[in-house]
Structure 1
């Protein structure tokens, strides 16, 4: 299933996307949670009811007639991996890590699908990073790798927009990864049952103004989804609605010769096979 958070005339709602139509989940399933985190936390029973209702869903709204929001408006935790593809680690002159580079994003940095991403006034080095993002469905602490995929609700697309000069100001990446309006997410969540285990073997690509910049496959992740969940959950308790961005492949702007950075008027598209396309225009702050 493809699940969205969207805005229509009556405010935000959770929707089920079928083709080019979106159906209000609250109208399909009685007593369905009103937001995506609630739906994620409700567990398999509600999803089973939703699947059954979807087969007989009546007329919905045209997908093009609603405004999509990021699938989870305010994740409890947005956990990100750096250097998770060997080619990306090498293009930046980094050692291949034995333990994932982990950092957090704040909610004010997140952006809706289709909404502008913002190049800050203090930098001209605003870079793109297409990433697979896992959505935690069942919480837990110290989760075994063998059990980890059972904790995944689904997957979406993330663009880890990075302000490179601020990222390099310290050994901690927090400044360059948390500018307001820098990290788009969406356009929807595809439930885990519709994708290969761990979202393995999916083509992943970014395009800047239609030109392919990154072109790889999730099979090349050094720390796959299950292993990442096991590692992260040793440190912190994962909760329903937490999201984990799984790192980006080679082809980012700062490593190109000459470098290529996003600027006002650009359009950045991030696509993952079987999930979808996340597209955003770029504006200046």
Structure 2
């Protein structure tokens, strides 16, 4: 099982981090060990002073495939949820400034919090809202109608480089509003106003 992440898939988020809006999907990966254990607190990493949240819609792959045409891509995911791509932003900035890969800022242990998966209605894929609350205050709101690259485009594009396998997770990008968390913060993720994720920082 692998975790595939799409960066800069909402134009306003790309702009808030002073990144160019991409012309094709930006892909990075997290290892399986990045998945946070459900119900367990996430411990603030010692190597960062700026741990940030990025709330995203996450797809669950249900079928093996490679070089998948967009028109068939919907057959390859069967459920969705919200997730948090935790990022050591200070570490990432230092590595990017040197032109180096930044996996350690994205793929560290417990850097991928994943909510409870639920089935989707195909008609609601691009009419869905999602949000993140920190200490009962809404800090991020997104809508799938604002995706730069559709779920089908993502699956088709990714499958040209990596064979998709049953159980793979795809983080589809975060909207604007990313920010820092601190120890003892409580985070809640919602998809279409249904709470699917709870995370405590320790």
What TM-score bracket applies, with the shorter chain setting the length? over 0.9
Provide structure 1 residue ranges, at least 5 long, that are not aligned to the other structure: 1-75, 254-260
TM-score (norm 2): 0.92
For 2:25 and 2:148, how far apart are their aligned partners in 1?
9
Instruction: Give the root-mean-square deviation of aligned CA atoms.
Output: 1.5
Answer whether contact 2:35 2:111 (CA < 8 A) is retained: yes
| DSSP 3-state at the match of 1:127 | strand
The correspondence of residues 106-145 of structure 1 with structure 2, limited to 5 A, is: 106-145=31-70
For 1:243 and 1:198, how far apart are their aligned partners in 2?
20
| DSSP 3-state at the match of 2:94 | coil
The 1:176/1:220 distance shift into structure 2, 3 A limit, reads same
Which residue of structure 1 aligns with residue 156 of structure 2? 230
Give the total of aligned pairs: 198
Determine which structure has more spread, i.e. the larger CA radius of gyration: 1
Q: Which has the higher contact order (CA 8 A, sep 6+)?
A: 2
Offset of 1:225 from its aligned partner? 0.5
Per mean C-alpha deviation after superposition, the further-off stretch among 105-114 and 95-104 is 105-114
Answer whether contact 2:3 2:171 (CA < 8 A) is retained: yes
The correspondence of residues 152-171 of structure 1 with structure 2, limited to 5 A, is: 152-171=77-96
Which residue of structure 1 aligns with residue 187 of structure 2? 268
Correspondence for 1:93 among 18, 36, 50: 18
Offset of 1:114 from its aligned partner? 2.8
Which residue of structure 2 aligns with residue 31 of structure 1? none
Answer whether contact 2:5 2:171 (CA < 8 A) is retained: yes
Offset of 1:140 from its aligned partner? 0.8
For 2:35 and 2:105, how far apart are their aligned partners in 1?
13
Offset of 1:104 from its aligned partner? 0.6
For 1:280 and 1:160, how far apart are their aligned partners in 2?
12
Correspondence for 2:74 among 124, 149, 156: 149
Provide structure 2 residue ranges, at least 5 long, that are not aligned to the other structure: none
Give every structure 1 segment of 4 or more consecutive aligned residues whose post-TM-superposition deviation is greater than 3 Å: none
Offset of 1:223 from its aligned partner? 0.9
Offset of 1:236 from its aligned partner? 1.3
